[in-house]
Amino acid sequence: MPIRILIADDSKMIRRNLRSFLEANPNWQVCDEAIDGPEAVQKTKQLIPDLIILDLALPLMNGLHAAREISQLLPSVPIVLYSMYATPQVELEAKKVGIRAVVPKTEAARLLLPTIETVLAAASPY
């Protein structure tokens, strides 16, 4: 069974690039995409993915608010915040709402893969 990942970002280009990057790993599958915070919450409830990659600057409901709702509903689903605004303050706020890790978009090539692997390993029941 592949790891099912939900991508939530308002940029079609970023979603497309993330999907290509993630699905290069044969053990990972992007189960769906969301373009705003409420859709990320709704699709998480509907699909119960194994991991969520969530942008901070989502329309209608930012990533921190969406993560708070998702963490209350499904605390076992790990969330990685993937953002241009990865400051120490954002990281602190992210941890408070249940986000497991923060990856700056500017560091994606270097940090996204090992961060996802670390978060998935920590969330694994085995």
Query: pTM of the predicted model, to two decimals?
Result: 0.94
- Structural domains counted in the chain: 1
| Average model confidence (pLDDT) across the chain | 94
* Span 52-65, pLDDT tens digits: 999 999 999 999 99
**Over the stretch 67-80, which tens digit does the pLDDT of each residue have?**
999 999 999 999 99
Q: What is the pLDDT of residue 21?
A: 93
Q: Is the predicted pLDDT of residue 126 greater than 70, yes or no?
A: no
DSSP assignment of 14-77 equals HHHHHHHHHHTSTTEEEEEEESSHHHHHHHHHHH--SEEEE-SS-SSS-HHHHHHHHHHH-TTS
CATH number for the domain harbouring residue 11: 3.40.50.2300
Does the pLDDT value for residue 28 go beyond 90? yes
Host domain of residue 111: 3-123
